[in-house]
Amino acid sequence: MIRNMIETDIFVNNSLIDLYFKCGNVHLAENVFKLMPKTDVVSWNVMISGYVSVGKCFDALGIYDSMVKAGVKLDAVTYSSVLAACSQLSALEKGKEIHGSIIENKLERNEVVMGTLLDMYAKCGAVDEAYRIFRDLPEKDLVSWTSMITAYGSHGRASEALNLFDKMQKSNTKSDGVTFLAVLSACSHGGLVDEGCSYFHQMINEHNIKPQREHYSCLIDLLGRAGRLHEAYKILQSTQETREDVELLSTLLSACRLHRCLELGEKIAGLLIEKDPDDSSTYIVLSNMYASAKKWNKVREVRLKMKELGLKKNPGCSWIEVNRRIHPFFIEDNSHPESKIMYECLSCLNSYMEKDVMMEALESSID
């Protein structure tokens, strides 16, 4: 187009932005947007959804704020896209602000928008608010039922999740694999082992749904939390796909660490290292298991092996929402403008904690 000096219109530019995002080239998508002589609501929406699709949710919220300041009329697609960013970041206050804007724009009856809003509240932990949205939906589809079941299950309200699933079945809404995943997850979080196993078999035998990796992962996690490690391992060995699945083996390895089952843990760690020798997480979990068992020579061996392979633990990232602004932090991060004050505050808190520990030790020794 450039070589042939073809003048692009707004529709072509919007398609180019979408193309570059879907190909993972964020920089070129941003360039096209910045150089557009004229933009419309679609241009902004493509930028928001594009950022969300590549995991740049902070940028998605930033472009949404710029869109509001530019006076662009927001539509259902705008809200659905930006609420997805809030969901991924658990940005509840920002989500509430957007909810207010939805009401102002009279989109409370839009099923897609309200479904996304329900999902946002659910993922941000505002379960009761999510239920109010769910209750008032003009029509409840499979997605809204599943979102609400997920909300209850992931926040420790397993019995309510299962009751809602029962109501869903009575409403003649047909369950799919995602719904059963939500139910299995609820059982896992609630420690309902036998119920989870029952639903797993119900999914296969009554609904003819072939279990995917995610379903097996929930089942392994469920059995693992309950300490039924060898039963979980037997299930993994039952099919070729699960037997060689790194993610499922990693889930069981974490359970072995939790229950200090070193023998099975070593066996699974060996399989994982054989399949992916460059994954640092396996070595770290194995090292921690040896440390719990006070096998310090084994700990040194694992750490030395990591050093030889040049493996490092990936830095953790967390964030906090203050006054509707989201502040991300990495380990040993100094990029925030107020980082000096923060580290001074942390140092002060740490000294208080150390004093408390010393006082407790002193009091217990006197007792």
Query: What was the pLDDT predicted at 364?
Result: 66
Query: What was the pLDDT predicted at 211?
Result: 92
Give 13-54 pLDDT, tens digit per residue: 999 999 999 999 999 999 999 999 999 999 999 999 999 999
CATH class of segment(s) 1-139: mainly alpha
Give 180-207 pLDDT, tens digit per residue: 999 999 998 888 999 999 999 999 999 9
Give 76-99 pLDDT, tens digit per residue: 999 999 999 999 998 999 999 999
pLDDT exceeds cutoff 80 at 289:
yes
pLDDT exceeds cutoff 90 at 168:
yes
Query: What was the pLDDT predicted at 184?
Result: 95
**Residue boundaries of the structural domains of the chain:** 1-139, 240-314
Residue with more model confidence, 297 or 357: 297
Closest CA to 282 of 319, 257, 310, 308: 257
Residues 6+ apart with CB under 8 A from 40: 10, 14, 72
From CA 46, how far away is CA 44, in angstroms rounded? Answer: 5
Query: What was the pLDDT predicted at 354?
Result: 81
Determine the residue type at 200: F
pLDDT exceeds cutoff 90 at 102:
yes
Q: Give the model's confidence band at 365: pLDDT under 50 very low, under 70 low, under 90 confident, else very high.
A: low
Tell me the two tokens of residue 249.
Answer: 């083996």
Query: What was the pLDDT predicted at 274?
Result: 87
pLDDT exceeds cutoff 80 at 345:
yes
Please check whether residue 255 is in contact with residue 271, taking contact to mean a CB–CB distance below 8 angstroms: no
Query: What was the pLDDT predicted at 166?
Result: 94
Closest CA to 72 of 34, 46, 43: 43
Residue with more model confidence, 146 or 328: 146
Query: What was the pLDDT predicted at 92?
Result: 92
Average pLDDT, stretch 344-361? Answer: 82
Name which of 84-98, 111-125, 206-220, 311-325 the model is least confident about. 311-325
Average pLDDT, stretch 164-170? Answer: 94
pLDDT exceeds cutoff 90 at 179:
yes
Phi–psi pair at 321, nearest 5 degrees? -100, 120
Average pLDDT, stretch 62-74? Answer: 95
pLDDT exceeds cutoff 90 at 215:
yes
pLDDT exceeds cutoff 80 at 219:
yes
Q: Annotate 36-57 with three-state secondary structure.
A: CCCCCHHHHHHHHHHHHHCCCH
Give 147-164 pLDDT, tens digit per residue: 999 999 989 899 999 999
pLDDT exceeds cutoff 70 at 314:
no
pLDDT exceeds cutoff 70 at 313:
no
Query: What was the pLDDT predicted at 367?
Result: 61
Reduce the DSSP state of residue 330 to 3 states and report it: strand
What is the percent of the chain with per-residue pLDDT over 90, rounded to a whole number?
55
pLDDT exceeds cutoff 90 at 306:
no
